[in-house]
Amino acid sequence: MIIELREFTRVEGNGKAEIVIEDGEVKDVRLKIIEGPRFFELLTLGRHYYDVPDLEARICAICYLSHSVASVLGIERAFGVEVPEEIALIRELGLIGELLESHALHLYLLVAPDVFGYPDAIRMATKHGELVKEGLALKAFGNRIRVMVGGREIHGINVKPGGFGRYPTVEELERVEKESEALLRLARRAVRLFAQLDPYGAQAKHFVATDGYLWGEKLVSDEEGAFHYTERIEERSLVYSFAKQSLYKGEIFFVGALPRLLLKSEMLTPAAKRLFEEHREKLETGYVSYNNLAQAIELVYSLERANEIAKTLLDRGIEGENVPVEPREGEGIGYVEAPRGVLIHHYRIDANGNVAYSNIITPTALNHAMMEASLLEEARKLYGEAEERAMIGRLEETVRAFDPCISCSVHLVKL
């Protein structure tokens, strides 16, 4: 017998799951990504490098800037271009804006209704309007940073190889400095709220993240130092899903906010670090539901870090000079932490500056196997014990804990 779950709600994109029951027991769970394929690597093939980041941004609306930055990093590494600290800091600020926007959307509008027992945030707002407003305030702040750095709330075009179309102004940075401080109180409250979640889903055995907090030269894992994805991560196609599955050294692993905190807690800002220590025991159990608690702690981190970056840039002043980019034959990989985990853009570029090979691996694809393992764990726990509706509700919450971005997951290619 197969129990087919309806399409997931309150996630980005289209997906569903099937629970396979044999002899009265849960035998298997299949996570089916039914969003149509989008063929981004084919789209970018043969394109001039300069246009590629704008196209790659379209992979995902919630994390377009992570895609732009990963794309730009891959292209710059292929050409051997290095950017000065100013440009790196502004990019980081953009990624922080995205983390705030995405985490606030996820936690307040998509997860909080589960905590309070409502079908959505709009209906939750009748009784918990203040909370919804707080979430929207954080989200709007994140989006303002995205507009400042990326050029638009969705699919901005401002992040370019070698720099930006337009640089932030002093007024804009002063506003970031002020608002990031004012909003910190709300983020602390979010940590208290999401610390109350039950442990559910599978317990991760392996964690993977980039070596810097929001981007890196390479990846790191819980058992070893820096490595390139090609050395440890393998992808495989599935007959029932448009997204591929990835394994780390042949095993299931987890990317996202929880892995970031656990692998890179020493990089956290002061208040975020204190909150991490306070909840460390819980987080270290590795239950996927604590990913939401980790996201809330990252709201605090993001606001503190945005404040630091704005201050630094204001102190040193903005020069607004792009680094000249000379195309040459080369290969480069961009590693970024999208809000929902590791994102990889890998390009080979020919002597004319056109893309000759491209491979993109998104966090949702990296987490695909971990999501299935979590669904299986929950289904086994609940099948025959809980009512079917309650079981399905919990399974949906389990998938939601990953903050999966299904649109992003459907265009993986090896050419």
Partner 1 sequence: MMDKLKLGVFELTDCGGCALNILFLYEKLFDLLEFYEITEFHMATSLSEENHYDVALVTGTVSTQRDLNLLKEARNHSEYLIALGTCATHGSVQGSVELPIREKLKAVYGDDGNPMRALDSKPVVEYVAVDFALPGCPYDKNEVYQVLMDIAKGIEPVRKDYPVCLECKLNEYECVLVKKGLPCLGPITYGGCNAACIRSGLGCIGCRGPLPGEVNPASEYEILKDLGYDDEYIIRKFKTFARWEP
Return the ∠ at Cα 235 (arms to 286 and 59), rounded to 5°: 85
| Neighbouring-strand partners of residue 3 | 19
Q: Is 206 annotated as a binding residue?
A: no
Q: One symbol per residue from 261 to 300: x for binding partner 1 (CB under 8 A), - otherwise; what is it?
A: ----------------------------------------
- The sign one gets for the Cα dihedral 9, 207, 187, 64 is negative
Outline where 285-414 has alpha helix (H): 290-316, 363-366, 368-382, 388-401
b/e sequence 316-346, b meaning 16+ C-beta within 10 Å = eebeeeeeebebeebebbbbbbbbbbbbbbb
Element (H, E) at 126: helix 121-150
Q: One symbol per residue from 76 to 115: x for binding partner 1 (CB under 8 A), - otherwise; what is it?
A: -----------------------------x---xx--x--
Of residues 157 and 267, the one with the C-beta less far from partner 1: 157
Should residue 121 be labelled a site residue for partner 1 when binding is judged by CB under 8 A? yes
Of residues 275 and 399, the one with the C-beta less far from partner 1: 399
- Considering only residues 19, 30, 31, 54, which one is a binding residue for partner 1 as defined by CB under 8 A? 54
Residue 373: exposure state from Cβ atoms within 10 A (0-12, 13-18, ≥19): buried
Q: Is 62 annotated as a binding residue?
A: no
Scanning residues 217 to 246, which ones bind partner 1 (CB under 8 A)?
A: 237, 239-242, 244
CA distance 280 to 276: 5
| Nearest approach, Cβ of residue 350 and partner 1 (Å) | 14
**Site residues (CB under 8 A) for partner 1?**
7-14, 34-43, 47-48, 51, 54-55, 58-62, 64, 105, 109-110, 113, 119-123, 136, 140, 143, 151-158, 160, 164-166, 237, 239-242, 244, 396, 405-408, 410-413, 415
Binding residue ranges for Mg(2+): 41, 360, 411
Binding residue ranges: 41, 60, 63, 360, 405, 408, 411
